[in-house]
Structures are given as structure tokens and as C-alpha cells.
Structure 1
Amino acid sequence: MKESILSLAPQHWEEYELIDTGGFEKLEKFGKYILSRPEPQAIWDKSMNADEWKELVHAHFSKEKNNPEKGQWEEMAKMPHNWQMNYQNPDGLKMTLNLAMTSFKHIGLFPEQAVNWDYISDTLKLFPIKTPKVLNLFAYTGAASIASKACGADVTHLDSVKQVVTWSKHNMESSGQEGIRWIVDDAMKFIRREVRRGNKYHGIILDPPAYGRGPDGEKWILEEQINEMLKLCSDLLEPDHHFLILNMYSLSFSSMIAANLIHSNFGKVENAEHGELYLVDRFKKNLPLGIFFRFRKL
């Protein structure tokens, strides 16, 4: 069966916009508020000048000199520290997500992932199992978990950071959902236990960082551990009806690497798609924001 190689950009955002990119920064509208943040892939020139950016922006994130992973927000205009955004697609998926400015430049939302929320919704609406079991690993603030739950799945949501899981619960409640199973644990330790227990899932969502730490200081390095993780996931995935979504953000990775990882651990898969996720700014510049591989058997 032929494998599709795609570049995917979200089509259904009403409250998000990528306004401009360039000079290693991006200017984004999240609901009512406009933020500027560092973006290592935006190596081209900005389309707007500095005064035009400054006129629009509510808050700007500056990295620490000695720690590029952390920094601080400078507010240029009055705005709340916490606010909400809504997402809705034509198939009826609705979510209300809570946003906040963190010291790691993130705000609780990766808007390019909307294409995968739509894929989850579309897949589960067609699924022949009444209550499919879905495992969301490295689940962050839980939009994929909420999308799965909204379509009737029995969802297990795992992240290593307790505060992020609390944030996810808030998103679930704001979205009018309930009953997600929350786990604070190291992802590798958890799935090893699940394999030993003989547990199976109809859907697995993996969105691992390039680097990370478990709740007890366990080290995660994408290049060193993703192959073993996918090998374990192949034991966890139900053979007859299933889907899997893999996202990776390492700048050194291509979707061909994702394809090799999937095929070496899962063999031949049905309805496979892989490629880049990206966003488009007002000036038609495409900003790549990660790679994906996904497949499903209904």
C-alpha cells in the first residue's frame, strides 16, 4: 500500500494566527493577545519592520543568556497572565484551552497540532470499537487527550510534570469533558510496566521532546530512546483496529527517520502518512514546526 508524504497546516483555527516570522522570532495571535517569541527555524527576514511588531505585541519573550531554554516575558500592553482559547472543527470537535505565559516560552498550546486533533476526531468517529482505549504519552496540556475523550475513547494521559497534568485537568473541565485517567510518571517506565501487564491500546499518541526529565530525574534523550519506546509501543497496540501518531521536534530529524523507525518496529502499516507540520504567516511564509508519522487500521 502506498505511503503518503505530506506537509500539513491547520485549516480550522479561528482564534489563532501566525502573523509574521523571521529574524529567529515569530509573532502570533492567541485569542485577543499577540505574543512574540524566539523561533530557531525562522532564519529569514521579517516581513514587518520593528515598529510594526512593537505596535502589535502585548508581550515579548526574551531568553536567558546562560540558559536558552528559559527566559522571561516582558509585557508591552496590559493583558492577563491566564486566558482561554477555543478550537472547533467542522466535524463537531470543540475544546476550550487555558493558556498562560511560562518561563520556558511555552503557553500551553502548540497550534500546529490541530491537524492531529482533527485526525484523532476523524479516526475515532469511524472506529468499529465502541469505547477504544487511547494512550497519550508526553501528553503536555492534554488537547489530544481531550479530543480523544470527546469522541468516546477511554483515555490514559501521561506526563512527567505534575503541574502540567493539573493544567490538563483544567483544560478537560473547561472543555466540558470528564473521566480521563491521569498519570504522573516517566513514559518509558510506564510503558515497560504496561507491556509486562499485557495491556493493549487501540490508539497511541507520542509527542516526545528532544530532551526531558521524568518525575524522579529520569533522563530522556530522543535519539537514544525513541527506538526502544516504539518497540514497546508495538507490543501495546491492538493488532486488529488501531491508530498511532508520532510527533518529533528535533531539528536534526526528517520524516524519513520517523518512517524508518515505524517500519522497523511495526512492519507494514496501513494508511500511513508522514511529513512536516507547519504554519503559514500573513505573508505566505511557511514555518516548519516538526515532523509526524501516523497510521490507522479501522
Structure 2
Amino acid sequence: MHQPNIQALTPENWKDYELIDCGDFEKLERFGNLILIRPEPQAVWSKKLSENEWQKLHHIRFKGRSATSGDWIKKSSNIPDRWHIVYKNKESEIKFRLGLTSFKHVGIFPEQAVNWDYISSTIKKFKTPEPKVLNLFAYTGGASLIAKAAGADTTHVDSIKQVVTWANENQEISGLENIRWVVEDALKFVQRELKRGKKYNGIILDPPAYGHGPKGEKWKLEDHIKEMMTDVVKLLDPEEHFLILNTYSLGFSSVIVENLIKGAKPDVKNLEIGELYLNATSGINLPLGVFGKFRSV
């Protein structure tokens, strides 16, 4: 039986983002012109750069108050709370509005740029004139924006209204329009689309380990991902399609993702599995989730 290669992928040539260093449960990152220090539970090793270098380089540091929230400490009062960065690949250019949230996030997961490249290059290969793409657990819309910019009819689903509003803002500053915004529990939406007989050429899933729908629906990755995968593959167009599954859960390996995909779609072709990571300029690699993806072309 043919076994897919296990890959390790990191974004390349992104001028507006840089992981400078990581370690001691923190990461030092540049987004545009601003350098941030944020918590990073995966960084269990020691920092490569000295604490003095970290202090000298950074503009803003996140200080946790609890396990789920905290405050941003700025070196200077004229540092903005919001700013823009650009992502550009061979096919498309998109823009993001970043912001300092109380949950340590800034509105983007940079390692996902590898998946954005896969999305745009795949869409460009399709013969379907305006392929339909569904982005589930879609957050602030990086995958939605890149799909739309590549020419797809794009549907963006997330359970939190505020992040869908944020994604819409990213659409506007990227000079795009007509992404379909849906604030709903992802599993409920998929099941409804199945009943309607809908088909999609591309489906992107980036589920959290834990989450809640707009009506209090509970999502727990290990409890619901098998059902979700079984349902979403039925939405795929049989002729031209791609699917990406990305998971951050510390307990999930690429072999688990492979088994989930093969269980849902035994005849899967062109399957790739592996690990997403960021390569720090200090020379250390930061793992940030596992992926499985396949396409018909």
C-alpha cells in the first residue's frame, strides 16, 4: 500500500512576517514594522538569543493575567493598537488588519501561508470557471481571502460574529468583495448544505481543540472531527476538488490526520500529510500543527 510522504512545511519569502526567536514558552515575532513577544506553549526549549536582545528588539509584550487572557505592555505610547500587513504569492496579494486582542492573538496565524499557497495554486489549475470554496472555522479569513483573490466563489463560516466582522474588514482592505459570510456552528452548516445537495470544489478546515457555536453548541476536536470529516467529503465535487485539514491540538499527530482522511475518503488521491512550522531567523524551528490535504489535480 502506498504511504504518503510526511512533510514539514514553513512559509518562505514573506516580507511582512518574521519569527525572530522562540523558547522558554515565548516567541519573538515581527509583523510589518512591529516586534511582539507572545506566549508559545510549544516552545519548551531555551531561547537562542539572550534576554537582553529580546528586551532590546521588542515593541510590545503580552503579559498573561490568567490562562486565557492578559494585557499588552507597550514600550512607547505612540505604538498603534491596529496596523496592516500584506501577504503576496505568485497568484495573489491580500491584506490583513492586525490588532492586539486580550487572548494574545493578533488576527493571523502566519504558518497558514503554506496552505494559502496550496489553495491559490490549486484553484488556478481548475477548469471550473468560478470554483466554489468553503472555509470552515474560518477566523479572520486568510484562506477565504486567498481563495477569493484566486477567483473562487467563497463561503466563510465561523461561529464568532466579531471575527467574521474582522474578516470582512480584511476583505475590504484587500480590494475584494462578495465573500459569503456565515455566522454559524460549522458542523450544523455542513449538515444543512448536505441536505440541500450542495457541492464545493474546495473545503478548508482549521478546527480548534475546543470551541462554542453561536447558540452554545460545544465543539471538542476528538469528539466531533470524525463526524465532520465523514460529512465534508460528501460535499466535494467529484471531478475537481481539494481539501485541507489543519489541527493545532497537542495530542494530534499527522498519522491521526491521515487516518481521519482515509477513513472518510478511502479512494483519496494525491494525499499529503505533515507538520507546519515556522523557521526562526535564530535558527530554531517552531512546530505549529499538523495538516492533511489532497486534490484532484
- Provide the C-alpha distance between the structure 1 equivalents of 2:91 and 2:271, rounded to a whole number of angstroms: 25
Instruction: For structure 1, list consecutive stretches of 5 or more residues without a partner in the other structure.
Output: none
Contact 2:120 2:150 in 1 (8 A): yes
Show structure 2 runs of 5+ residues with no match.
none
Q: 1:110-149 residue pairs with structure 2 within 5 A? A: 110-149=109-148
What SS is found at the alignment partner of 1:37? strand
Q: In structure 1, what is the Cα distance between the partners aligned to 2:270 and 2:245?
A: 14
Counterpart AA for 2:63: S
Asked if the contact 1:12/1:88 (under 8 Å) is kept, the reply is: no
Q: Does 1:263 align with 2:268?
A: no
Matches for 1:61-140 after TM superposition, within 5 Å:
61-64=62-65, 67-77=66-76, 78-89=78-89, 91-140=90-139
Amino acid aligned to 1:13: W
In the alignment, the residues of structure 2 paired with residue 246 and residue 69 of structure 1 have an alpha-carbon distance, to the nearest angstrom, of: 25
Residues matched between the structures, number = 295
Correspondence 1:11-30 to 2 at 5 A: 11-30=12-31
Structure 1 vs Structure 2 CA RMSD: 1.0
Map 1:274-285; keep pairs closer than 5 Å.
274-285=273-284
Distance (Å, rounded) in 2 between the aligned partners of 1:284 and 1:72: 29
- Could you tell me how far apart the structure 2 residues matched to 1:273 and 1:6 are? 7
Q: Is 2:206–2:245's contact at 8 Å kept on the other side of the alignment? A: yes
1:41 is paired with a residue whose SS is: coil
Q: Letter of the aligned partner of 2:185 in structure 1? A: D
Matched-pair contact (CA < 8 Å) for 2:91–2:150 = no
Distance 1:7 1:52 in 2: 29
The aligned counterpart of 1:213 is 212
Seq. identity, %:
55
Distance 1:30 1:202 in 2: 32
Question: Match of 2:52, as an amino acid?
Answer: D
For the 8 Å contact 1:208–1:247, the answer to whether it is kept is: yes
**CA deviation digits over 1:6-63, x for unaligned, max 9?**
0000012111100110100000000010000010111111112222111111111122
Aligned-residue offset at 1:2: 5.1
Measured in 1, the distance between the counterparts of 2:231 and 2:116 equals 24
Corresponding position of 2:246: 247
Question: Which residue of structure 2 aligns with residue 194 of structure 1?
Answer: 193
Question: Does the 8 A contact of 1:35 with 1:57 survive in 2?
Answer: yes
TM-score for both structures, normalised by structure 2:
0.97
- Tell me which amino acid in the other structure corresponds to 1:14: K
Structure-1-length-normalised TM-score: 0.97
Residue 270 of structure 1: how far off its partner (Å): 1.3
- Of stretches 243-252 and 263-272 in structure 1, the one that deviates more from structure 2 is 263-272
Pairwise CA distance, 1:282: 1.5
CA distance in 2, matches of 1:156, 1:75: 37
Q: What letter is aligned with 2:161? A: K
